[in-house]
């Protein structure tokens, strides 16, 4: 990818931000390849293998959480996947060692938890591998409060699980106002963060930091 284009996309993310989401508790298995922007990531950090999610934002770039790449030498990237335990014909695998982490990110903190992974080779887009739409300039001051959103990932089904889901799962959540979240959970949030609530014990869990929160087809 042209260096200027790469820099422009990263600058856009620094200015506008991308909200954090994690993984899925008690989510439903999605129809295979119905979320073609989803990317499965595996990295080794501090001698521990971690699972993360991400979203494809161009043929060469994956957007994820900084925590997923901070301290890693390289990241294994799987695109076009549904069941990551199988060798599906749709899958494309790459290993990348080139990431850009938000300069204000600090390990263990939730602020500025954003990073880009540059693929070694631009991926060919098809029906199983597509890019996600990012917010436009007109969305800078848009409120997503009370909007329904979808989160997806290959994370743990519940906190006590020792293994991750091998198939992509998703659930719907409702984005709630920050003030409501602060009053309910007694901690402070910033305008760069977003709070969501699931139903029927379906919500985020461990294992898929970096997975996108999507409203009407747009990652927010």
Whole-number Å distance between alpha carbons of 194 and 199? 17
| pLDDT tens digit sequence for 95-137 | 999 999 999 888 877 788 899 999 999 999 999 999 999 988 7
Q: Give the DSSP letter of residue 67.
A: G
CA distance 135 to 2: 22
46 sits in the region (left: phi over 0; alpha: psi -120 to 50; else beta) called: left
For the stretch 78-98, pLDDT in tens is 999 999 999 999 999 999 999
Torsion sign over Cα 96, 102, 107, 110: negative
- How would DSSP label each residue in 132-189? PBPP-GGGTT---TT-EEEEEES--SSTT-SS--SB-EEEEEEEE-HHHHHHHH----
Query: What integer is the mean pLDDT of 158-181?
Result: 79
Q: Which residues contact 177 (CB under 8 A, 6 or more apart)?
A: 145, 146, 195
Q: Do 101 and 69 meet the contact criterion of CB atoms below 8 Å apart?
A: yes
In this predicted structure, what is the pLDDT of residue 95?
Answer: 95
Summarize the confidence of residues 61-70 as an average pLDDT. 94
* pLDDT of residue 166 exceeding 70: yes
What proportion of the chain, given as a percentage, has pLDDT over 70? Answer: 73
Residue with tokens 């950090």: 45
83's CB contacts (< 8 A; 6+ apart) are 32, 166, 167, 168
Q: Please give the pLDDT value at position 106.
A: 85
pLDDT at residue 100 in the model:
93
pLDDT over 70 (residue 202): no
Domains and CATH numbers, the chain: 3-219 (2.40.10.120)
Nearest Cα to 38, choosing from 81, 87, 100, 99?
81
Tally of CB atoms within 10 A around 159: 9
| Overall residue count recorded for the chain in this entry | 220
In the chain, % of residues over pLDDT 90: 43
Kindly state the average pLDDT of the residues 144-169: 81
Residue 208 has pLDDT above 80, yes or no: no
User: Tokens standing for 46?
Assistant: 């501090």
Helix/strand/coil percent split, the chain, to 5? 15, 30, 55
- The tens digit of pLDDT for each residue in 8-62 reads 444 444 444 444 444 455 678 999 999 999 999 999 888 888 889 999 999 999 9
33 compared with 145, residue with greater pLDDT: 33
pLDDT at 192: 64
């Amino acid at each position: 990818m042209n260096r200027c284009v790469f820099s422009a996309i990263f600058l856009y993310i620094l200015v506008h931000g991308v909200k954090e989401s994690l993984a899925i508790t008690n989510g439903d298995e999605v129809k295979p390849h119905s979320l073609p922007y989803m990317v499965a990531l595996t990295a080794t950090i501090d001698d521990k293998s971690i699972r993360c999610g991400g979203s494809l934002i161009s043929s060469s770039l994956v957007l994820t959480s900084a925590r997923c790449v901070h301290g890693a030498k390289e990241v294994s990237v799987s695109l076009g996947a549904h069941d990551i335990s199988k060798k599906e014909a749709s899958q494309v695998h790459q290993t990348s060692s080139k990431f850009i982490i938000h300069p204000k990110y600090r390990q263990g903190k939730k602020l500025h938890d954003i990073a880009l992974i540059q693929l070694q080779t631009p991926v060919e887009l098809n029906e199983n591998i597509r890019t996600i739409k990012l917010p436009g300039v007109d969305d800078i001051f848009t409120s997503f409060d009370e909007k329904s959103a979808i989160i997806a990932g290959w994370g743990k089904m519940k906190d006590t699980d020792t293994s991750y889901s091998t198939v992509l799962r998703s659930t719907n959540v409702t984005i709630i106002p920050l003030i409501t979240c602060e009053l309910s959970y007694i901690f402070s949030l910033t305008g760069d963060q977003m709070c969501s609530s699931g139903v029927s014990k379906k919500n985020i869990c461990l294992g898929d930091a970096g997975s996108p929160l999507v409203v009407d087809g747009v990652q927010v």
